[in-house]
């Protein structure tokens, strides 16, 4: 056993917060802790840090910070991050803009774009880092592209306005390696219909955006290519768009979701969508009075999960005054665990556009 092995064995026994601090002691310790094999061994040795779930964000009138809840879906409930961004020091308040594999993009809250600051942060360790200013008038969306299985480095992709016209957009990419923003390619045009650039979804190495019409886009941050992808050929509005377990999922609303809906999945080769699940909410309503009496509902989160060959995927929905979760296979209900106080009397209405999936990966800023 050499000196590296001895020191690694010692470092493996430290709590995560102390381990993060050890990176600053010397280059040797920093190299040991940053090694992918060490990260894997630390994760296996410390399952108490394993947690995945989702943040739920709502903006309240005159409140400096957005209201946050966190719902664990897998792992240890006591490992869940605190539903607060108060560790980020910003006198204008802070809100979440995007999430990806354990990292959050946050920004100043109550201010104009010219005063807005952006941060990359990890809530479980309360680390954050301010990003350089984006030299543009309007940021239509900002997203993280990070796959720890492919690279230890993340990239941040912003969709900004362009000097060419109001219908042109310019992509800018931030890399922690260079520590700066750079424009990617030439400005591109978008149609009059609204594109949801503020709801980018990272899947299959690319960021994906859908719109209120038939246009959908995907961008590969490595090749810096922007491509289109097919959408179902019907007029609709998005009822849910997200990724889980390596699957890109979509729900389209053709009418009230209380009548039932299809959960569609994108094929790996982008050749089209197929129906993964069809939900008959009449069957669910027979077991849940909250759904039976609801005149509206929204989808918050879908978790694609298989355990020993058995489909254990489930969905989380919001009906007035209540959060409900059930398995997609047999409609059996599940308890939603949370460390938060959920005040159903506030009358807040949540939707998938205020949901930010979170998985506590072994990563430090």
Element (H, E) at 44: helix 36-45
As a whole number, the mean pLDDT across the chain is 85
Closest CA to 71 of 365, 258, 350, 363: 350
Residue-wise pLDDT for 169-226, tens only, equals 999 999 998 999 999 999 999 876 688 999 999 999 999 999 887 889 999 999 999 9
- Comparing 67 with 271, which gets the higher pLDDT? 271
The percent of the chain in helix, strand and coil, each rounded to the nearest 5, is 20, 40, 40
Residue reference for tokens 């910003």: 90
- Comparing 257 with 71, which gets the higher pLDDT? 71
Q: Is-contact 50 360, C-beta < 8 A?
A: yes
pTM value is 0.86
DSSP 211: B
pLDDT of residue 32: 87
Enter the tokens of residue 277. Answer: 């699940």
pLDDT of residue 222: 94
What percentage of the chain reaches a pLDDT higher than 90? 40
pLDDT of residue 1: 61
pLDDT of residue 25: 87
* CA dist list (Å): 114 to 108, 137, 182: 11, 7, 19
Closest CA to 132 of 178, 187, 92, 163: 178
What is the pLDDT averaged over residues 260-271? 92
Residue-wise pLDDT for 274-302, tens only, equals 999 998 888 887 777 777 677 778 899 99
Across 109-123, 136-150, 347-361, least confident range: 347-361
- Can you tell me the distance from the alpha carbon of 349 to that of 351, in angstroms, rounded to the nearest whole number? 7
What is the pLDDT averaged over residues 267-275? 94
* CA dist list (Å): 177 to 15, 63, 136, 206: 27, 36, 22, 19
47 pLDDT above the threshold of 70:
no
* Other beta carbons less than 10 A from residue 274's beta carbon: 10
78 pLDDT above the threshold of 70:
no
Residue-range domains of the chain with CATH: 46-359 (2.120.10.30)
Neighbouring-strand partners of residue 106:
96, 119
Band (pLDDT 50/70/90 cuts) for residue 247 is: very high
pLDDT of residue 238: 87
Band (pLDDT 50/70/90 cuts) for residue 75 is: low
Closest CA to 202 of 328, 99, 73: 99
Residue-wise pLDDT for 289-342, tens only, equals 777 677 778 899 999 988 888 889 999 998 877 888 999 998 888 877 665 655
């Amino acid at each position: 056993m050499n000196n590296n092995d001895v020191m690694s064995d010692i470092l493996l026994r430290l709590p995560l917060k102390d381990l993060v601090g050890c990176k600053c002691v010397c280059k040797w310790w920093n190299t040991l802790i940053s090694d992918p094999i060490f990260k894997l061994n630390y994760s296996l040795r410390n399952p108490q840090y394993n947690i995945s779930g989702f943040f739920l964000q709502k903006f309240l009138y005159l409140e400096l910070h957005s209201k946050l809840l966190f719902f664990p879906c897998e792992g240890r409930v006591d490992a869940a991050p605190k539903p607060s961004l108060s560790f980020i020091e910003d006198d204008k308040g802070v809100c979440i803009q995007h999430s990806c594999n354990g990292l959050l993009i946050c920004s100043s809250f109550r201010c104009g774009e010219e005063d807005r600051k952006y941060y990359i942060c990890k809530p479980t360790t309360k680390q954050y880092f301010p990003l350089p200013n984006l030299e543009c008038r309007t940021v239509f969306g900002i997203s993280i592209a990070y796959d720890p299985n492919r690279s230890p480095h993340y990239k941040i992709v912003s969709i900004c306005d362009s000097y060419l016209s109001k219908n042109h957009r310019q992509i800018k990419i931030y890399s922690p390696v260079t520590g700066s923003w750079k424009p990617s390619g030439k400005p591109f045009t978008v149609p009059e219909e609204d594109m949801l650039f503020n709801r980018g979804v990272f899947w299959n190495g690319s960021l994906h955006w859908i719109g209120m019409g038939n246009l959908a886009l995907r961008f590969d941050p490595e090749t810096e290519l922007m491509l289109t992808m097919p959408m179902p050929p019907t007029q609709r509005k998005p009822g849910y768009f997200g990724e889980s377990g390596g699957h890109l999922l979509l729900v389209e609303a053709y009418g009230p979701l209380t009548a039932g809906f299809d959960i569609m999945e994108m094929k790996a080769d982008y050749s089209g969508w197929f129906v993964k699940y069809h939900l008959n909410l009449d069957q669910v309503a027979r077991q849940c009075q909250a759904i039976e009496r609801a005149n509206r509902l929204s989808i918050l989160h879908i978790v694609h999960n298989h355990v020993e060959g058995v489909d254990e995927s489930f969905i989380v929905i919001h009906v007035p005054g209540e959060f409900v979760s059930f398995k997609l296979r047999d409609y059996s209900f599940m308890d939603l665990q949370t460390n938060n106080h959920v005040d159903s009397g506030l009358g807040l209405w949540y939707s998938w556009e205020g949901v930010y999936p979170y998985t506590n990966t072994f990563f430090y800023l």
